[in-house]
Amino acid sequence: MEVRNIDGYNSLIESLKGQDRAFLLLYKKGVETSDCAIENLTEAAKRVDDLLVMSADVAQVRDIHPQYGIKTVPTLINFQKGEYKNVIKGCQSADFYRNLFEDSLFTVQAKGDEKPQKRVTVYSTPTCSWCNTLKTHLRHHHIRFTDLDVSRDQSAAQAMVARSGQQGVPQTDINGEIIVGFDKKRINELLDIKA
């Protein structure tokens, strides 16, 4: 999917109508970190369909960032059902953006399931290979989960340590039971995944 260029706040609001999930990268062309972010975002967006990914150059579009209190770029804004959810600052790798987009798409696609599922939260970091293995395993078995990046979310990191007493990732919370590391056997047992 192509990254859609947004030319103003009104255009953004119109684009968000009817969208479950959407992303907007605010950047400034010609600045190294911004050029890095738009390049990696564009690369990641090519690999996903059915997700609105937008960009706006703050040198050209001056009425969006004040609406959300954004003072530095590049900043990626995550929207859910047209509402501001959170931001990710700086330049991230194409793989980071792709994983972010795939998690969003998976969450939206999984809504049609009739079978109730246990609440699953994964505490992870983008550079943790076992975290990515765990999330791939859950996606492969169509398990919906919330992914909390503890390298960017200090309150999530504190909550994780308070619950488990440990700082290492990945950690998985399945209906209140904490699993430290990728304990595939225990995760499969708790989520009724047939190996």
What Rg do the C-alpha atoms of the chain give, in angstroms? 18
Q: Identify whether residues 126 and 46 lie together within a single domain.
A: no
Q: What pLDDT sits at residue 66?
A: 94
Count CB neighbours of 9 within 10 A: 17
18 plus 85 within the same structural domain: yes
Give the model's confidence band at 113: pLDDT under 50 very low, under 70 low, under 90 confident, else very high.
very low
One domain, residues 122 and 80: no
Lowest mean pLDDT: which of 9-13, 51-55, 107-111, 143-147? 107-111
Q: Where residue 28 sits, what CATH number does that domain have?
A: 3.40.30.10
Domain check: are 24 and 77 in the same one? yes
The count of structural domains within the chain is: 2
Q: Where are the beta strands (DSSP E) in the chain?
A: 4-5, 21-27, 52-57, 75-80, 83-89, 120-124, 146-149, 171-174, 177-180
* Contact predicate 67/9, CB 8 Å: yes
DSSP designation for 130: H
pLDDT of residue 107: 52
Domain containing 44 equals 4-93
Query: How confident is residue 99, by pLDDT bands cut at 50, 70 and 90?
Result: confident
Calculate what percentage of the chain has a pLDDT beyond 90: 62
The domain boundary, picked from 62, 93, 124, lies at 93
Mean pLDDT of 38-57: 90
The stretch 105-116 carries a mean pLDDT of 51
Q: Does residue 114 have a pLDDT over 80?
A: no
pLDDT at 108 over 50: no
**Same domain (yes/no): 87, 127:** no
b (16+ CB within 10 A) / e for 15-49 = bbeeebbbbbbbbbeeeeebebbbebbbebbeebe
**What count of other Cβ atoms lies within 10 Å of the Cβ of residue 100?**
22
Check whether residue 58 and residue 88 sit in a common domain.
yes
Tokens read off for 15: 């684009």
Mean pLDDT to the nearest integer, 68-81 = 92
Q: How confident is the model at residue 130 (pLDDT cuts 50, 70, 90)?
A: very high
- Mean pLDDT (the chain, rounded): 89
Q: Sorting pLDDT into bands at 50, 70 and 90, what band is 109?
A: very low
The per-residue pLDDT for range 168-181, each reduced to its tens digit, is 999 999 999 999 99
